[in-house]
Amino acid sequence: MSSGAPQLNTPTRLLELRFAADPKRLKMVREQVQQATSQLAMTKKHVSDLIIAVNEACMNIMEHAYKGDRSGEIILEINNNGDVIEVVLTDFAAPIDFDLIQPRDLDDLRPGGLGTFFIQETMDECAYDHLQDQGGNVLRMTKRIVE
C-alpha cells in the first residue's frame, strides 16, 4: 500500500572510519576512500577530487584543530545519496572559529596553506558546524557524481 508521498532515498553508508589524528594514517585513509568509491558511477576525476578533499581536510584537522596532538580522533563518514556523495569529518578538538577558515591568496607564493583552496575547488559544497554538548567540529562536504 502506497501513501502517495514521494519516497526519499535513504543514504547508503559507503565508509565509516575512526582513526588517530596522525599524518601517518593518511595513506590508509586515502586507500579506504578509493576502495569505498571504486564501485560507484564516478569518473576517475571525481574520485581523485574526493580523495584530495578528504586528505586536505584531515591534514587541516590535524594541524589546526588538534594542533599536532596525535592522540586526537577523527571520524570519517562517506554516504551515497544517489547523485551526491556526502563526506562528513568529525573531530573532538576545541571548537574552532569558522570565520578564520579562508583560502590563502594564490599570489602568496609559499609552501603550504592551500588545503582550504583545494577543498573548495574539488567539492561542490562545504559546511562547518560545532558538535552540540561537547567540544568538536564537523565538516560536511558534498560532490555531485551525476552531471
What pLDDT score does 73 carry? Answer: 98
What pLDDT score does 84 carry? Answer: 94
Name the 3-class secondary structure at 8. coil
Task: Locate the domains of the chain by residue range.
Answer: 12-97+113-144
Lowest mean pLDDT among 18-27, 28-37, 39-48, 93-102: 93-102
How far apart (Å, rounded) are the C-alpha atoms in residues 35 and 100?
Answer: 33
How far apart (Å, rounded) are the C-alpha atoms in residues 54 and 89?
Answer: 8
Q: Taken in order 119, 125, 130, 136, is the CA torsion positive or negative? A: negative
Percent of the chain with pLDDT over 90: 65
- The partner residues of 80 in beta bridges, in order of sequence, read 12, 85
How far apart (Å, rounded) are the C-alpha atoms in residues 69 and 61?
Answer: 10
What are the helix (H) ranges across the chain?
26-37, 44-60, 115-122
For domain 12-97+113-144, the CATH class is alpha beta
Nearest alpha-carbon partner for 81 in 140, 31, 13, 35: 13
What pLDDT score does 1 carry? Answer: 44
- What mean pLDDT do residues 100-123 have? 65
What integer best gives the mean pLDDT of the chain?
86
| Top mean-pLDDT range of 7-11, 97-101, 138-142 | 138-142
Which residues have CB under 8 Å from 136's CB, separation 6+? 90, 91, 92, 93, 95, 130
